[in-house]
Structure 1
Amino acid sequence: MKLYIKYMVSLRCKLVVKEELKKLGLHEVAVDLGVVEILEDITDQQRLELRERLLKTGLELLDDNKTVLIERIKNVIIESIHYSDGQLTVNNYPEYLSEKLQCDYTYLSTIFSEIKGITIQQFVILHKIERVKELLLYDKLNLTEISYRLNYSSVAHLSNQFKNVTGLTPSYFKKIEKARRSNLEKANLPPAEPTETQL
């Protein structure tokens, strides 16, 4: 039996879900982002208890078919951008999503736009830009390497899309984030000992 869980977007979330299933005597076959497959059929009482326990951790057990579908779309996109080295472009997502979810892309796109208020393409772009921000701040890859990793056609294309979404160039974003982090680190340091000249 498959259960769909909203806000389940990290490895920590997977561990939380596994633990909550274990407490209820349920055995997972597979735990992926947003979906859990269990051996048993879940009773109404177990479903209610699981829903309550997950809500306390910031997760939500889903029942509505459209909501489940939206979460599945989001999780496939997030996983492809944040947790794999897949070389997908925005234009590859219609085919990719149709294949992964075994559903017509036009239907997926219509439902997604209706419920989320943005297109799948816009959602993909927003997450690609979030990933660019992360990679910029890790400071291990330059913009050319980031552009290649996220399958942009060029550095200029990445930079233009970044500026359209954030209002900043990638280099300026990196500069202000480093300055902000530096200021936060300084704020957490204890005051410096006064020197002899200050006494």
Structure 2
Amino acid sequence: MVSRKLEEKIRSLSERAALSLLGKVQVTPDFFTLMSLLLTCIVVWLLAQGLLGWAGLLFLFASAFDMVDGAVARSKGLVRPFGAFLDSTIDRYSEMLVFFGLLLYTYLHTSAFSPLYALLIFIASHGSLLTSYIRARAETLGFDGRGGIIERPGRVIILAFGMLSGWLTVALVSLAILTQVAALQRFAFVWRQSRTDYL
């Protein structure tokens, strides 16, 4: 899948950068995970202030922090189940915070806000959560829940593009469609794996 190749490429580049720049820093991987959440909270504040472009830049930076925590954990031999659990949980909080920030931005600073626009943000955020949930639930049952037309790195890029370009509606429509398609793809993939149980 294109999305999986993109995710692997982005993570590979992030990990190499992390190891060269942060490999000797005396902090735990959880520091980077929590820092990404703190930076995302600042993204929400920037959106509430109407600073859309700055919010987009900081969102990319915060997402980079999210990608390096795993690399630092592996390089220092600090990989542990709770670290992975914390990372996954913070990812979900961060995504929902950004969608909330976009809701604030459109309500406070544009004339685009309407019930239909709020519904669009809901569908996009729902799709983002659902794709992540399907993977997590599938993996607890022993299935591979990865894949789909778009994964987290792709969602980050589309959201950041929307903020940096000002084309929020285009970004949100794209996410609303792509995340729901990805969720259905993951569901179908897990269903196909489950069929082998009856063969």
Q: Judge same fold: TM > 0.5, yes or no.
A: no
Query: Structure 1 or 2: larger helix share?
Result: 2
TM-score between the two structures when normalised by the length of structure 1: 0.29
- Choose 1 or 2 for highest CA Rg: 1
Query: TM-score if structure 2 supplies the norm length?
Result: 0.29
Task: Select the structure that is richer in strand.
Answer: 1
